[in-house]
Structure 1
Amino acid sequence: MLCDNRTKKQAEAIGDTLEMVQALNNIGTDYRRMGVLEMAQDYHYRAYAICKASTDSSFTARKNRVVALNGLGNIYLTLGNYARADSALRLALAGERELNSPLGQAINYANIGSIFRQRGLTDSAFAYFRKSMGLNLQINNQLGISLCHIYFGELYEKNNNYSKAINEYETALTPMQAMKDEWHAINPLIALAGIYVKTGNYSKALHYLDTARGIAQNIKSTEHKAEIYSLYYKLYKRMGDTRAALEWHEKVADMHDSIMDMEKLNRIQNAGLLIERNRQAKDMNEAQLSLKSERATRSAYAIIFSIVVTILLGAIGMFIYIQRIHRRNHLVLKKLAEMRETFFTNLTHEFRTPLTIILGLSQVLRKSKNEEVIQHLCKKQGHNPADAS
């Protein structure tokens, strides 16, 4: 959590909204796992509020929004506010569909199925868990597949169908042990121990309880220990071993006292965290102002860019128009030049032909020996006939 807080502060310092929202969601998730739901809700809601106000439509921004909704939905589910949990988780599911994320959809289908299970609507719960299972199988998500088997087992156990429940729990346990995922593997162990206590198979119940207790001690899970100790008490009570049952009953009481002490500590921490929340509310307001400023800057840049593009397009259009006018004028002048050249060529041709004929005939006549013709020509030209001869 310290790392997430440091990341959040660094993101705020450089104005990285995406990184800041991711840090808020991570802190909210940490508080949720610690059971400090009030603070978890506050962080997830702040992350969601920033995402909602932002105009960023990138994949990361949309994923941050979905994660915040999923966190809020799980908090409401834990608090028993099923209506709000259903609303938040369905919005998260719709977001995962838009992101085309089979894993995200599988998680939210399972969460919605848990709402129906808590409400006692077994058929609807089965339907949503099956949808989750289908998506997990599609992407070969072994953890998701195993969790779905646990969900199926819980529903079968609720309907007193213990044989099917045992089969589902055992199916879930094998891959979890192979993955060495102790946090998740302890749940089917406890579930199997509980069924075998109910059905009177005490040897198997002890086997699973001993294994689960070792894991609980290893992962230091107080809540799991309390559940395991309670099953030990029930087991020895059913077996008639009152002394052992009393010992485990005392351990259960001590564990509950320990849990109560932890809850008191959490309340004390919450009181201190309220001060932090007020400070963070101020940071939130500053972040929102920064976001608004960022949006205003983006809008200004967009307007300036639009104006520049419009001017450039106008200039290009004007240039193209002028080029067309010049080209048209050039073609007209060229056509006029061709017409003038053709006119003078034809005119020259029309004059040259008769002149050539006249000149030719005059030469012939000059060379003629006919005196009568010579005298006539000379008179016409003003020459003396004697000179011509």
Structure 2
Amino acid sequence: MKRQLILEDGTVFVGEGFGSNSDKIGEVIFNTGMTGYQEIVSDPSNSGHIVTLTYPLIGNYGINRDDFESINPSISGLIVNEVCDHPSNFRSQFSLNEYFKSQEIPGLSGIDTRKLTRIIRQYGTLKGAICGMNVEVDEVVKQLNKMILPTDQVKQVSTKSAYPSPGRGHRIVLVDFGMKHSILHELNKRGCDVIVVPYNVTAAEVLRLSPDGVLLSNGPGDPKDVPEAIEMIKGVLGKVPLFGVCLGHQLFALANGAETEKMKFGHRGSNHPVKDVKTGKIAITSQNHGYTVNKESLTETNLEVTHIALNDDTVEGLRHLIHPAFTVQFHPEAHSGPDDTNSLFNDFLQLIENSKKEGEELCQNA
């Protein structure tokens, strides 16, 4: 069935619909990952997005039970050049088309994704609508230009109540701003006793759980739309070691007096080179964000830059100069993507160990 993508600037792409026949509106972005479409469509950080995948063939290994990053995907739609109707993989349980139908997610294939990506790169992310052929394009364009993008994505994707993921190691409070399940998996793999809490948890509630460390997860949208989290971070900083990922990194920067700003089209893919400022080592990273920390705004803070993006020199990592806390803009859990920076989870646990030893020494010398 012929369906179309209409952009707010009036550009129209006509293709073949797959998945749900529902009409959806969202911010149109692109992701350059060559694999990992299941992780991309189920990543809560893509809440409200219509995602364009630049790799030409999508769906060839199907959908399986193991690679989901969330139970209920919140993506608005998917744009591809070609979708595979008959996947071939020993783990495949159903096709992308079947999965999208079951989740009421519309998809569009047969699109010139190179052209669409160039438009986004030139003009920045645009609002768009996936809809049928029976609509008035001019009316849809008017609606898109009037539409204000939602600001409550974190509230929509965060857990509504706290829950445990038990282990016998360090107790980690994992603040869910739109957490990828792979982050929880990495902590579980290291034996951590994890308690996942909602985005609007208070500092007092976090500290009441007696954590050894706090991990600030990834999530969708503008970090300035989550003022509750900024206050919580201020309240726990210096009392317990912190590690932030993606949105957690941006919130940490705001809590320490830095500024964030929207990027033209963001970093989304699994091939982004990042440099460790201290060692000079280059890592290829997985990223999915549309906001960044303003480097100049760090001057009057107690933060130092630990990592930078080689493509555009944006801030990719921060460390607090006084308290045990560090953050990264990229995804060390690397689902999907290379695992060059997976050891950062070990660094977080080592930071906890070091903080405990320092605390014990202070008690002994008191």
TM-score bracket, normalised by the shorter chain, equals under 0.3
Greater relative CO, 1 or 2 (CA 8 Å, sep 6+): 2
Higher helix share goes to which structure?
1
What's the TM-score once normalised by structure 1's chain length? 0.24
Higher strand share goes to which structure?
2
Structure with the greater alpha carbon radius of gyration: 1
What's the TM-score once normalised by structure 2's chain length? 0.25
